């Protein structure tokens, strides 16, 4: 199965976001590289607003991800509650 990924800057804002992604995607692998974190997952990865809000302790707009996003791979689908990356095979 093809890998999808999302890479975020390594900073205070993204720490709880990365935790949330790990909670929602148990199959994901978190790679910590200099100044960045790259999260790989087989076929599909879901980022959920609610889980981020629980980790962050405040309301969160998923579009805030734009600020710390470095790169991603896969077909994107976003609404208020989830950002999904997936490959169609």
Partner 1 sequence: MDMKATKKKLGMKERYRVLTRDLGWEPGYQSKEAIFPYVRYEGIKVHDWDKWEDPFRLTMDAYWKYQAEKERKFYAIIDAHAQNNGHLNLTDARYLSALKIFLQAISPGEYAAHKGFARIGREFPGVGTQVACQMQAIDEIRHAQTQIHAMSNYNRYYDGFHAFADARDRIWYTSVARSFFDDAMSAGPFEFMIAIGFSFEYVLTNLLFVPFMSGAAYNGDMATVTFGFSAQSDEARHMTLGLECIKFMLEQDPDNLPIVQGWIDKWFWRGFRVLGLVSTMMDYMLPKRVMSWREAWEIYGVENGGALFRDLARYGIRPPKGWDDAEQAIDHMSHQFMLGLYQWSFGTAFHSWIPSDDDMAWLSAKYPDTFDRHYRPRWAHIKKLKAAGTPFKNYGLARLCQCCQLPCVFTEPGDPTLTCHRETVYKGEKYQFCSDGCKDIFEHEPEKYIQAWLPMPALFSELGGDVAAWMDWVNLRDGADNGDYDGSRDQKHFDEWRGLATSNL
Residues of the shown chain interacting with partner 1 in the complex, contacts defined by CB under 8 A: 2-5, 7, 9, 33-36, 63-64, 66-80, 87-89
Question: Is the CB of 55 or the CB of 87 nearer to partner 1?
Answer: 87
Contact 29, 40 (CB under 8 A): yes
Using the minimum distance from each CB to partner 1, give the nearer residue, 6 or 20. 6
CB of 13 to partner 1, least distance (A): 10
Closer of 46 and 69 to partner 1 (Cβ): 69
User: CA-to-CA distance for 58 and 60, rounded, in angstroms?
Assistant: 6
Distance in Å, CB of 7 to partner 1, minimum: 7
Paired sense of beta strands 75-78 and 3-9, if any: unpaired
Residues comprising the chain, all counted: 89
Query: Minimal distance in Å, beta carbon 17 to partner 1?
Result: 14
First CA to last CA distance, the chain: 8
The least CB distance from residue 18 to partner 1, in Å, is 15
Q: What DSSP character marks residue 11?
A: S
């Amino acid at each position: 199965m093809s890998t999808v990924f999302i890479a975020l800057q390594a900073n205070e804002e993204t720490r709880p976001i990365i935790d949330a992604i790990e909670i929602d995607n148990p199959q994901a692998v978190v790679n910590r590289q200099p100044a960045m974190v790259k999260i790989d997952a087989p076929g599909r990865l879901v980022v959920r607003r609610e889980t981020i809000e629980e980790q962050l302790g405040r309301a969160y707009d998923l579009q805030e991800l734009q600020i710390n996003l470095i790169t991603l791979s896969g077909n994107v689908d976003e609404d208020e509650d989830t950002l999904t990356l997936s490959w169609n095979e």
